[in-house]
Structure 1
Amino acid sequence: MSERRSFWGHFWLAKLFLQFAGLLPIGGSSCLWKSFLNQFLATLPLWTSFYILIPQFKFMFFQSPDIDSFLEAVLIAISVLTYQLRSIFVIAYRHRITRLFFVCERMLNEAAPADYSVIFIWAQRAKRISTIYFCGAYCSVITFAVTSTVKQLSSAENSTTKYYPFAPEEDSTPTLQYQIKFATQVLISYIGIAYIAACDMTGTILTLNMCGQLALIRSWLADVSRENVDARGRRTDQSLENVLMKCARRHQIVLEFCSELGDVIRYNYLVQIVTEMYIMAVSGARLSKGSGSIQHLSTLLLAINGLLFSCWPADTLSFESTEIARAVYGVPWHRGSSREKTMVAIMIARSQRPATLRAGKFVQLSLQTFSSITSNGLSFCMVLLNI
Structure 2
Amino acid sequence: MHVLHNRNVSIIWASFLMKIVGLWLAADQNEQRRRDFALIYTLGALFISICIALRDIYHTWGNFSDCVFISCNILYVMVVFFKISILYRHKIEFFNLLIFTEKNFWRPYHDPQEILIVTGCKKICNICIILLIFCTQGTCAGYMVTPLVANIGRNESDRMLPFNLWVDLPVGMSPYFEILFAIQILCVYHVGICYICLDNLLCIVNLHVASQFRILQHKLNCLNDVIKNQIDSQESDEKYLSHCANICYIKLKNCVQQHQMLVKYCKKLETIFTVIVLGQANTHPSKKVSLVLNLGVVFGQLFMCTYSCDDVMQQSSNVSNAIFSIPWTNLPMNKAGTIIRKNVIIIIMRSHKFCCLTAGKFFPVSLQTFTGVVSMAMSYFTLLRNTSLNATNS
TM-score, length-scaled by structure 2? 0.85
Q: Say if 2:77 and 2:191, in contact at 8 Å, map to a contact too.
A: yes
CA pair 134-233 structure 1, distance change in 2 beyond 3 A: farther
Moved more, 60-69 or 315-324: 60-69
Larger radius of gyration: 2
Deviations 1:73-92 (A, max 9, x none): 11211122122222212321
Whether 1:338 and 2:338 are equivalent positions in the alignment is yes
1:18-33 counterparts in 2 under 5 A?
A: 18-26=18-26, 29-31=27-29, 33=30
Q: Hey, what's the Cα distance between the residues in 2 that align with 1:250 and 1:167?
A: 55
Q: Hey, what's the Cα distance between the residues in 1 that align with 2:282 and 2:268?
A: 39
Q: Aligned partner of 2:249: which letter?
A: E
Aligned position for 1:250: 258
Aligned position for 1:207: 206
Q: Aligned partner of 1:309: which letter?
A: M
Q: Aligned partner of 1:224: which letter?
A: L
Aligned position for 1:37: 34
CA pair 367-169 structure 1, distance change in 2 beyond 3 A: farther
Aligned position for 2:392: none
Aligned position for 1:112: 110
Aligned position for 1:49: 46
Q: Hey, what's the Cα distance between the residues in 2 that align with 1:67 and 1:168?
A: 19
Aligned position for 2:95: 98
CA pair 63-139 structure 1, distance change in 2 beyond 3 A: closer
Q: Say if 1:321 and 1:355, in contact at 8 Å, map to a contact too.
A: yes
Aligned position for 2:271: 263
Q: Hey, what's the Cα distance between the residues in 2 that align with 1:321 and 1:157?
A: 61
Q: Say if 1:59 and 1:65, in contact at 8 Å, map to a contact too.
A: no
Q: How far did 1:252 drift?
A: 0.6
Please state whether the residue corresponding to 1:112 is helix, strand or coil: coil
Aligned position for 2:375: 375
Aligned position for 1:275: none
Q: How far did 1:218 drift?
A: 0.6
Of 64, 76, 79 in structure 2, the residue corresponding to residue 82 of structure 1 is: 79
Moved more, 131-140 or 364-373: 131-140
Aligned position for 1:294: 289
Moved more, 172-181 or 58-67: 58-67
Please state whether the residue corresponding to 1:49 is helix, strand or coil: helix
Q: Hey, what's the Cα distance between the residues in 2 that align with 1:166 and 1:90?
A: 29
Q: Aligned partner of 1:299: which letter?
A: N
Q: How far did 1:270 drift?
A: 1.2
Q: Say if 2:171 and 2:180, in contact at 8 Å, map to a contact too.
A: no
Q: Say if 2:146 and 2:286, in contact at 8 Å, map to a contact too.
A: no
Structure 2 unmatched ranges of 5 or more: 236-240, 332-336, 388-394
Q: Say if 1:76 and 1:166, in contact at 8 Å, map to a contact too.
A: no
Deviations 1:53-90 (A, max 9, x none): 22322232244341111112112111221222222123
Q: Aligned partner of 2:384: which letter?
A: L
CA pair 188-15 structure 1, distance change in 2 beyond 3 A: same
Aligned position for 2:354: 354
Aligned position for 1:278: none
TM-score, length-scaled by structure 1? 0.86
Please state whether the residue corresponding to 1:228 is helix, strand or coil: helix
Structure 1 unmatched ranges of 5 or more: 273-284
Aligned position for 1:229: 228
Q: How far did 1:168 drift?
A: 6.5
Q: Say if 2:203 and 2:305, in contact at 8 Å, map to a contact too.
A: yes
Aligned position for 2:174: 175
Aligned position for 2:140: 141
Deviations 1:319-351 (A, max 9, x none): 111100001000111233011112212211110
1:121-136 counterparts in 2 under 5 A?
A: 121-136=120-135
Q: Aligned residue pairs: how many?
A: 365
